[in-house]
Amino acid sequence: DFNVSLPYLGKDELGDLSSSIQKLAKDLAHLKNERNEFLASISHELSTPLTYLIGYSKVAMRKGLTEEERAHYLEIIAEESERMRELVKNLLDLARMDETTFTVSKEHFFARSFFENVCKLVIPSYEIKNIKLNLICDEDLQVYADPVRLEQIILNLLDNALKYSNQHSEVSLKAQKSKNKTIISVIDNGIGIPLDEIEFIFEKLYRVEKSRSRLFGGSGIGLAVVKELVEAHSGTIEVKSKLGEGSEFRITI
Ligand code: ADP
């Protein structure tokens, strides 16, 4: 029984409806395209470290290597695995953050010992590049945040600061109180970001210059995750950067 009564649509309304449908179809096609680009990029990012892992494990298994040579290859294998793990972690987080169930559980904790532990995680890779990492934070400073998420935010920023700094330079992690908020900055004197690109760096998959990407590795996911995590804390993130001089990422939570 198809006795459904349709509201009467005039010529104008039919026209509106048809252009709305056309717009939806266009948006959908655009989304599909974006999704495909995203998948292609992720597949590429995951297959690069895999290529290294396979190559270097074969080399490490060769007979007649010295102890040092084998250790060197194993070190590369460990580093590449680490990179892959970070990438997968970021991807999973991006996917979860799109779900409505994503929450942060904030608590009060002392910032100094927390940041010291985060720094410990990155010190080995900083040492390899001879970059000094300074921590500036009062002993009694307290933050109100989700410690697991905050660690991820800081690790991503410290990872970038390292990646985009030259050997023998310095990076500072600074935390200070401002009224009832905490300002956390990661400051480097690395290669900097071109002024006209700053507004895009928090977009998923956005990377400054393709040539830069090939040189430094990375996927253009880190800052998108950082921004979403900061916003999930109802916080803000700002960037100051000068090409050839360095960058400062400043979070207020
Ligand atoms: P990636 O994996 O490419 O580092 P991100 O999302 O973390 O992805 O960063 C996006 C882009 O922003 C990077 O490609 C890089 O060019 C630029 N960028 C991020 N952090 C820094 C920094 N500390 N110094 C210079 N450029 C940076």
1 pLDDT higher than 60: no
Percentage of residues of the chain with pLDDT beyond 70: 91
d(CA 237, CA 228): 10
Question: Is 131 within 8 Å of 170 (Cβ atoms)?
Answer: yes
Residue nearest to atom 12 of ligand 1 (CA): 201
Region 107-124: mean pLDDT is 94
Q: Ligand 1 center to residue 85 CA distance, Å?
A: 18
Question: Is 173 within 8 Å of 134 (Cβ atoms)?
Answer: yes
Q: Which residue has the higher pLDDT, 249 or 36?
A: 249
Atom of ligand 1 nearest to the CA of 212: 16
Q: Which residue has the higher pLDDT, 2 or 109?
A: 109
pLDDT of residue 212: 56
175 pLDDT higher than 90: yes
> Best substitution site from 170, 201, 206 to test ligand 1's pocket, by max atoms within 8 Å of Cβ?
201
Does ligand 1 have an atom closer than 6 angstroms to the CB of 161? Answer: yes
Does ligand 1 have an atom closer than 6 angstroms to the CB of 229? Answer: no
183 pLDDT higher than 90: yes
Does ligand 1 have an atom closer than 6 angstroms to the CB of 153? Answer: no
Tens digit of each residue's pLDDT (9 = 90 or more) over 17-35: 888 999 999 989 888 887 8
Atom of ligand 1 nearest to the CA of 206: 10
Residue with the two structure tokens 């040579």: 69
pLDDT of residue 125: 85
116 pLDDT higher than 90: yes
Of the candidates 229, 97, 88, the residue with the CA atom closest to the CA atom of residue 152: 229
Does ligand 1 have an atom closer than 6 angstroms to the CB of 226? Answer: no
The listed range with the strongest mean pLDDT (34-43, 83-92, 128-137) is 128-137
Tens digit of each residue's pLDDT (9 = 90 or more) over 209-245: 655 554 565 667 789 889 989 999 999 999 999 999 9
Measure Cα distances from 192 to 119, 162, 180, 211 in Å. 22, 12, 31, 15
Q: Ligand 1 center to residue 221 CA distance, Å?
A: 9
Does ligand 1 have an atom closer than 6 angstroms to the CB of 235? Answer: no
Of the candidates 211, 219, 221, 159, the residue with the CA atom closest to the CA atom of residue 190: 159
Interface confidence (ipTM) of the complex: 0.97
pLDDT of residue 208: 64
Any idea which of 2-16, 72-86, 223-237 has the lowest mean pLDDT?
A: 2-16
Query: How deeply is 59 buried, as exposed, middle or buried, from its count of CB atoms within 10 A (0-12, 13-18, 19+)?
Result: middle
Question: Is 190 within 8 Å of 131 (Cβ atoms)?
Answer: no
Region 83-108: mean pLDDT is 81
- Tokens read off for 59: 């080399």
Q: Ligand 1 center to residue 123 CA distance, Å?
A: 19
Tens digit of each residue's pLDDT (9 = 90 or more) over 149-170: 899 899 999 999 999 999 989 9
Question: Is 133 within 8 Å of 165 (Cβ atoms)?
Answer: no
Q: Which residue has the higher pLDDT, 88 or 213?
A: 88
> Best substitution site from 48, 155, 158, 208 to test ligand 1's pocket, by max atoms within 8 Å of Cβ?
208
Q: Which residue has the higher pLDDT, 10 or 169?
A: 169
pLDDT of residue 31: 85
- At residue 248, what are phi and psi to the nearest 5 degrees? -130, 125
Tens digit of each residue's pLDDT (9 = 90 or more) over 27-61: 898 888 878 877 877 787 788 778 889 999 999 99
Q: Ligand 1 center to residue 172 CA distance, Å?
A: 17
